[in-house]
Homo-oligomer: A and B are copies of this chain.
Amino acid sequence: MQGTQPPTSPAAYTPTDRTIPTRAAQKASYDRELVHSILDEGYVCHLGFIRGGAPVVLPTLYARVGETLYVHGSTGSRPLRMTGQADPGLPVCLTVTHVDGLVLARSAFHHSVNYRSVVVHGTAYDVADPREKRAALDALVDQVVPGRAADSRPANRKELAATAVIRLDLGEVSAKTRTGGVNDEPEDLALPHWAGVVPLRKGYDAPVPEADLAPGAELPGYLAAL
Contacts and interface: CB of A to CB of B under 8 A. Distances in A.
Contacts of A205: 198-201
A49 B24 CA distance: 20
Interface string A168-185: 000000000000011000
Nearest to A95: B57
Interface stretch (A4-12, A26-34, A186-194): A186-194
Interface string A90-105: 0111110101001011
Contact of A214 (B121, B148, B189): B189
Interface residues of A, number: 98
Contacts of A104: 145, 148, 152, 207, 223
A145 B200 CA distance: 13
A14 interface: no
A206 B106 CA distance: 18
Nearest to A103: B144
A121 B113 CA distance: 25
Interface in A193-226: 193-210, 212-214, 216-220, 223, 226
A128 interface: no
Contacts of A49: 55
A44 B111 contact: no
Nearest to A117: B59
A126 interface: no
A86 interface: no
A36 interface: no
A55 B210 contact: no
Closest 4 CB pairs of A and B: A48-B57, A46-B46, A23-B76, A48-B55
Given A102-B204, A197-B207, 7 more contacts: A55-B55, A104-B152, A108-B149, A109-B156, A109-B159, A198-B204, A200-B204
Interface of A: 18, 21-24, 43-44, 46-59, 61, 74, 76-78, 81, 91-95, 97, 99, 102, 104-109, 111, 113, 115, 117, 119, 121, 137-138, 140-141, 144-145, 148-149, 151-156, 159, 163, 181-182, 188-210, 212-214, 216-220, 223, 226
